[in-house]
Structure 1
Amino acid sequence: MHFPSKEQIAALQRQCPRGTKVELLGMDDPQAPPTGTTGEVMGVDDAGQLLVRWETGSSLSLIPGVDSFRIVQKGGKA
């Protein structure tokens, strides 16, 4: 498995800060919430995954570049 650099993690944290709202467009995982489900980014882990709390109550992470999603509303400080 390829782990992102510290710079790549920092860029992802700027792109999707805590509180960002995302919508799931597609995920190849049997535990995935339904397409169209929205969630809130809780953070970015050391592997570059977005830690998401989904409106369904699950907390399955998104993998940028693998899973398909869109930012609905950017979080963090304005």
Structure 2
Amino acid sequence: MLKREEVERIKEKYPKGTPIRLYSMEGEHTVPPGSRGVVDHVDDIGQIHMKWENGSSLALNVEEDRFDIITQQDEISEKKEQEFIDRINEILGKTDFLLLNTSCNTENTSYAAETLLAMHQAFEEVYGEGYVDESYGMVMMPAVVKGTESGIKALALVT
């Protein structure tokens, strides 16, 4: 059981409206990992009562459950990542994969180069530049990868 001072610290750290991302909830499966929610209130024993995106109101136990506050930077990064994924999906929807495979693994790499360029341009449009620094956390970027054993080359999104 938490001491009164610990409960007060929890109440200060997680005021009403604080956005939370769940990683795991001990013994519960109605709120899956990755779920988002907002704090409704912290009770007198230190449980964090939530309003989860799936409609659940299960409380978090700070001693057993794993979760984090979603920061404003996290929100920005997630929106950019989703925008980039949407743009890549548009490009892939128009891609001839047989031609792409051939282009990656022959001397005529023009189709692969055009596809990679389109992906890179989408990256620049979303992130505003051709590179990102560590403040973005992990991001997906278009790249050419080569199998170490097979030598086969392919376009990929890497994180």
Percent identity of equivalent pairs: 35
Task: Report the equivalent of 1:5.
Answer: 3
Q: 2:70 aligns with which of 61, 72, 78?
A: 72
Is the partner of 2:8 in helix, strand or coil?
helix
Contact residue 20 and residue 73 of structure 1 kept, 8 A: no
Structure 2: gaps of 5 or more residues:
73-159
What TM-score do the two structures reach when normalised by structure 1? Answer: 0.82
Q: Per-residue displacement from partner, 1:14-45 (whole Å, max 9, x unpaired)?
A: 11111100000001223431110000001111
> Is residue 60 of structure 1 aligned with residue 58 of structure 2?
yes
- Aligned to 2:6, what secondary structure does the other structure show? helix
CA distance in 1, matches of 2:36, 2:45: 22
RMSD: 1.6
- The structure with more radius of gyration: 2
- Higher percent of residues as helix: 2
Counterpart CA distance in 2 for 1:59 and 1:71 is 17
Distance 1:47 1:53 in 2: 18
Match of 1:29 in 2: 27
Contact kept? 1:53, 1:59, Cα under 8 Å: yes
Verify: 1:20 aligned to 2:18, yes or no: yes
**Which structure is richer in relative contact order (CA contacts within 8 A, separation 6 or more)?**
1
Query: Runs of at least 4 residues of structure 1 off by over 3 A?
Result: none
Gaps of 5+ in 1: none
Tell me how far 1:7 sits from its aligned partner. Answer: 1.8
Matched residues, number? 72
- Larger deviation, residues 29-38 vs 10-19: 29-38
Instruction: Identify the structure with the greater strand proportion.
Output: 1
Equivalent pair of 1:51/1:62 in contact (CA under 8 Å): yes
